[in-house]
Structure formats: C-alpha cells, structure tokens
Amino acid sequence: MTANLDNSVKKPNFFTSLIKNPPRKILAPLCAILFILTLWQVLCSGEDANLPSPIETFQDTSDLIFDPFFDNGGTDKGLFWQILASLQRVAIGYTLAAVVGIGLGILIGSNAFVYDAVDPIFQVLRTVPPLAWLPIALAAFQEANPSAIFVIFITAIWPIIINTTVGVQQIPQDYKNVAKVLRLSGTKYFWEIMFPAAVPYIFSGLRIGIGLSWLAIVAAEMLVGGVGIGFFIWDSYNSSQLSEIIVALIYVGIVGLILDRLVAWIASVVVPSEQQQ
C-alpha cells in the first residue's frame, strides 16, 4: 500500500520537475529544431515554393513514416527494408574492410620496409573519392550488388589500414622492452602486446571507416539501383516525391549516427580506459 502510494506521489513529481526545470541538454536542441522547422515552414509556405513545407511533408509521407514494414514486391518496400538492404551491403563491405585492413595494417606497421614501400601508394589511393571506384568495380564484377559492396570496402579500408599501422608503430617502447626482457615468442607477442596495444588506434580507424561507408553507400546505391535507401531517394526524386526524400534523409542521418555510436560503444567496452584516447 505504502509503496504504491509512494510511487504515485513520486512519479508526477519527477515529470513535473522535468517540465518545470527541463535540462538544458534536452531543451536546447528542442528549441533549435522548433526554430528550424518554423523557418522552413515560413520559407516554403509560399505559392511557388519548390520544396514542401514540414507540415506538407508530414501529411504526404505519414503512411511511409508510420508503416516502415510494408513490402509490395520489387523496389516498393517500406523504409525499414530499404535501410536493412543498405545495412547488409555495408555490413559485408565493412566487415571485409575491417578484416583485411587490420591484417594489412599490422603487417605494414610491424615491418618498416613494407611500410616504406606501400605508404606512398596508400596515400594516393586513399584520396580517391569512393564513387570513382564504381565504374572499375562494375567493369570487374559485371554486377550491381558486388560492385556496391566493393565501393564500401574500398572506402572503409584506408582509415582502418592507416590507423592500425600507426597503432602498431606507436606501441610504447616500455611494452616492447617488457616483451624483449621476457623473450615473448612471435604469436605470444602478437596476442599479449601488439594487438592489445594497437586496439585503441584500430578502433579509431574503424569508427572513421563506418562513417565513410555509410556516406558511400547512399551514393553507390543511387547509381547501381535495386532495393536500398540510396536508390529509394533517387527513385523518389525521379517520381518527384520530394517529401519522401526528406524523410529518407532524416532516416539516413539517424542510422549513420547510430552506427557511429555503436562502434564507439564497442570501443569503450573493449579498450581499457587507460588506453582510451
């Protein structure tokens, strides 16, 4: 009885206090969003506006927003399926990039000769924009899907390689000395010292890589077609569904943020706080 009473008393108190004294972290972004929406509404509410206003957008796309799971076959699918398809491509390409990138990075970082040999090449290749790889990929794979995955792979791999290389090169001399004095063998050195010491760098590479992957997938899908958020946007543009584009953009942004935070969270779990940068 008393417990119930307590709860019934406390809860309203908590919420009322939140409403009365909302934390700035919540209040400030809300204000900004409200301001932007208002501005947008004002700018786009004219007769000859090229873009829909927020209210129009909401009205046009309410079924898209409230039912992301519909599937009418072909490319006519809900946003959930579109994004899932894109995420699948990213997952495959990014995983490949992570495995190959970390492996190559360790090899390059631990061998000065290999580093000197390939570093200039990598410095040139990493500046090539992701979409520039697409024609070559299409020519090589003859198929849309593997080409898109390859673009993801080639986009994400450079930061992973470069960061892993730096991580291995920057292993503190202290740790190397410990390994030398204890005469740790090659594999033991790898698992006990080199890999754990390079982990923080590897994760910063992975985090940059996931961001770039998600940037690249939208552009790549626009060109290769099929199910996917990129093609959805392009398709909507072709059918003049501007409201759908706006909703899709918001989704893309939110998913990108979630991906970035996910990798950051994994890093915070895996990397000891002493090593975190």
Partner 1 sequence: MTAFLEVDHVDKVFPLANGGRYIALKNIHLEIKQGEFVCLLGHSGCGKSTLLNIVAGLDKPTQGGIILENKQVKEPGPDRMVVFQNYSLLPWKTVRQNIALAVNQVYGNKSTKERRAIVEEHINMVNLRQAADKRPVELSGGMKQRVAIARALAIRPKLLLLDEPFGALDALTRGSLQEQLMKICQEHKLTCLMVTHDADEALLLADRIVMLTNGPESHVGQIINVPIPRPRQRLEVVNHPSYYALRGDIVYFLNQQKKAKKRQVKASAIIAGNGLEKINLEIGFIPLTDCAPLVVAKEKGLFAKHGLTQVNLVREPSWKAIAEGVTSGRLDAAQMVAGMPLSLSLGMGNQPPSPTVTALTLSRNGNAITLSKKFYEQGVRTLADFKAAITQESDRVHTLGMVHPSSMHNLMLRYWLASGGIDPDLDVKLTVIPPPQMVANLKAGNIDGYCVGEPWNSRAVYENLGFVIATDLDIWQSHLEKVLGVKEEWANKYPEAHIALVKALMEACEYCDDRRHREEILQLICQPNYVGSAPEYTRPGFIDPYNRGTNEPPEMLLEYNQFYVNKTNCPSRVEGLWILVQMARWGIVPFPRNWIDILDRVRRNDVYSEAARQLNLPGLEPERTSFQLSDGSVFSPDNPIEYLQGLKIKREIKIEEVEIDSLVVSL
> Which residues contact residue 219 at a Cβ distance below 8 angstroms, ignoring those fewer than 6 apart?
130, 131, 230
State which residue, 135 or 172, has the beta carbon closest to partner 1: 172
For the CB of residue 182, give the shortest distance to partner 1 in the complex, in Å: 5
Q: How far is the CB of 271 from partner 1 (least distance, A)?
A: 8
Residue 71, strand partner residues:
77
Residue 217: count other Cβ atoms within 10 Å of its Cβ: 28
Query: Which of residues 100 and 179 has its CB atom nearest to partner 1 in the complex?
Result: 179
Query: Of 61 and 164, which has the nearer Cβ to partner 1?
Result: 164
Buried b / exposed e along 221-243 (16+ C-beta atoms within 10 A): bbbbeebbbbbbbbbbeeeebbb
Residue 159 Cβ, how far from partner 1 at the closest point, in Å? 23
Q: Tell me how far apart the alpha carbons of residues 211 and 230 are, in angstroms, rounded to a whole number.
A: 15
CB of 233 to partner 1, least distance (A): 43
Q: Is 200 exposed, middle or buried (0-12, 13-18, 19+ CB in 10 A)?
A: buried
Nearest to 266 by CA among 200, 192, 190, 167: 200
Determine the Cα–Cα distance for residues 105 and 121; give it in Å rounded to an integer.
14
Q: Nearer Cβ to partner 1, position 197 or 264?
A: 197
Closest to partner 1 by CB, 112 vs 257, is: 112
Q: By CB under 8 A, name the binding residues for partner 1.
A: 174-175, 177-178, 180-184, 188, 192-193, 196-197, 199, 272-275
**Closest approach of partner 1 to the CB of residue 184, in Å:** 6
